[in-house]
Amino acid sequence: MNDMRLTMRAWLMMLPLLIIMIAIIGWPMADTVRLSFTDARLVGTSGQYVGFDNYTRLLSGNNFQRALSATLVFSLISVSLEMIIGVLAALLLNQQFYGRTLLRALMILPWALPTVVNATLWRLIYNPEYGALNALLTQTGLTESYRSFLGEPGMAMAAIILADIWKNFPLVALIALAALQAVPRDINAAALVDGASPWKRFRIVTLPYLVGPLMVALVLRTIEAFKVFDIIWVMTRGGPANSTRTLSILVYQEAFSFQRAGSGASLALIITLFVSLLVLVYTMLLRKSGRSG
């Protein structure tokens, strides 16, 4: 009886939050699902029911397949390099040396910058007429003339990935650095006395303390990378020749540029499904690593 009262009291205390979540999340999601089964336009008509036509047209179209490919390439490369660079930076900043505090503070700056500011900054760096990167490459003799890094289909995605890594690797580094503070120094010292190499000390002593926090960072960064929009939109708007058009940019174009609200809602739900599957997989991995730890 007491347990039932406690349960009822808990639900009553959560009721205001549940009402707010239903109003803010539930109703828009339900309306998006409704729109996805119609041919509604952004302006002028509520649309007719078309069943799964939007889904079949999008999933079988070249635009979706190219956008999915660009999204996967961006997510895989940027997140992988952010994880590697972030861990290396954390290991460096965990050492004792003069100026470590200042270096830690400076590392946060790229992550603290708004994404639009970061994207604009890198657009100026890549500028084909007066960009700093072109000036550096020509003055050092690595190239003979200025190049349009954001204007070449094969180069634009790499340029955006570099800009994204510069902004987001500090987040991974901060999470890893916080985890490194929990590594017992006596265990590390004992391994050093036993003659363990730096790689062996990292693999056996340090890595187990990093797995859980790094999995959290991996989840956060993968979700953000998969639904990336702002940095690519500011830098290339999905060009050149749609080579950097990701799924989120395709949603924007379908819903707002082409004013196909029903099609845009279908594509948004497809992205939501992909992200939900990623979260499910990562959650299972987190639980597995927690049990093994």
Report the CATH number at residue 273: 1.10.3720.10
Q: Per-residue pLDDT tens for 91-130?
A: 888 888 888 888 888 888 889 889 999 999 999 999 988 8
Helices (H), the chain: 2-21, 27-36, 53-60, 62-93, 100-112, 115-125, 132-139, 153-180, 185-193, 198-201, 207-226, 230-235, 247-252, 261-292
- Say if 190 falls within a structural domain: yes
Q: Per-residue pLDDT tens for 142-199?
A: 888 888 889 988 899 999 999 999 999 999 999 999 888 877 777 766 766 666 677 7
- Say if 4 falls within a structural domain: no
Q: SS3 for 65? A: helix
* pLDDT bucket at 68, cuts 50 / 70 / 90: very high
Position 247 scores a pLDDT of 92
Instruction: Name residue, tokens 């007066």.
Output: 130
- Say if 122 falls within a structural domain: yes
129 Cβ neighbours under 8 A, 6+ residues apart: 146
- Say if 95 falls within a structural domain: yes
- Say if 129 falls within a structural domain: yes
Residues of 231-248 as b/e, b for ≥16 C-beta within 10 angstroms? bbbbbbebbbebbbbbbb
- Say if 40 falls within a structural domain: no
Phi, psi of 74 (to 5 degrees): -60, -50
- Say if 168 falls within a structural domain: yes
Q: SS3 for 141? A: coil
Query: How many independent structural domains does the chain possess?
Result: 1
Kindly report the pTM of this predicted structure. Answer: 0.86
Domain that holds residue 101: 53-292
CA distance 101 to 175: 16
- Say if 35 falls within a structural domain: no
Which tokens in the block code for residue 51? 């069943």
What percent of the chain shows pLDDT beyond 90? 27
Which tokens in the block code for residue 245? 């058009």
